[in-house]
Amino acid sequence: MQAQLRKSLPQAAIAWFLASPLTLVLAGFLVLPIVMIVIVSFWGATEFSIYPAFLFDNYEFLLSSRVTYAVFLNTAKYALVTWAITLVLGFTVAYFLAFHVRSLTWQVALFLLCTIPFWTSNIIRMISWIPFLGRNGIANSALISMGVIDEPLEWLLFSDFSVILAFVHLYTLFMVVPIFNTMMRIDKSLIEAAYDNGATGFQTLTNVIIPLTKPGIVIGSIFVVTLVMGDFITVRFMSGSQSANVGRLISNDIALLQYPSAAATAVVLLITVLIVIGILLRFVDIRKEL
């Protein structure tokens, strides 16, 4: 039956037929919601109602406000700092698992150990830092008892430090996984050839391992940057509502029932994220990894 069907239909038609179920799912649950958000972003709103229209008022207000640029700059700061820290940590962990752990059993065991924090929800993992970093928390109590400080450090909690710390805790694994996956595909004979030709460990790292790991680095960077830029609950809790990012801006508009304004902000954020992803994809062709 399948053989007869293949003979009667051209290869292109078979390919489209096989891809149609996934295409319908993506169209219904991804493309259609985005289209609706774009449409609503042009609607008008009053204090008590929302009405369909084609207005640029939401975008005009958004792009003419200094608050918008400050919030986007703060979001970019969180994303950039978190990306840099998770890249260093993720690369280090992946390098250790791929090249220093020889046994496959131990590689799997240690990799699963990295996933233990994901057995609980993000909110629980994030809130667990509050009693640790608080004024009378474990960190301050330990530092005072050791004589390192004389009084509690106020900046440990409800600050940019605590926000970035929570982001790093939540999203480092998203950097570890693609880098580790790419490193495991590296032919070990290339590394041995580098050593045989007199290359040092650092030269092998910079000239062999890092270039071959670029696809994993780019994939991990896309994961981390997009997750941080879209997150709002972490900034709210860990900053004590003293800081904001674009996600919180959208959340506040939704809480005030200003859906057109929230939709316009979401569209601008989406465009910004797509630009960032486009820049990252200029460095490497990740289709080889998929």
Per-residue pLDDT of the chain (290 residues; tens, 9 = 90+): 455 545 555 777 777 878 888 888 988 898 999 999 999 999 998 878 888 988 899 999 999 989 999 999 999 999 999 999 999 999 999 999 988 887 888 888 888 888 887 777 888 888 888 888 888 888 888 888 888 888 888 888 888 999 999 999 999 999 999 999 999 888 888 888 888 888 888 898 889 999 999 999 999 999 999 999 988 889 988 988 788 899 889 998 998 889 999 999 999 999 999 999 999 888 877 666 55
Structure tokens at 5: 């069907």
Domain contains 69: yes
Q: What is the reported pTM?
A: 0.87
| Residue 216 belongs to domain with CATH number | 1.10.3720.10
What is the domain range of residue 87?
65-289
Domain contains 14: no
Structure tokens at 246: 């674009």
Separation CA 278–CA 272 (nearest Å): 10
Domain contains 16: no
Structure tokens at 158: 């409800």
Domain contains 40: no
Domain contains 23: no
Domain contains 3: no
Number of domains observed in the structure of the chain: 1
Buried b (16+ CB within 10 A) or exposed e, 11-34: eeeeeeeeeeeeeeeeeeeeeeee
Separation CA 49–CA 174 (nearest Å): 41
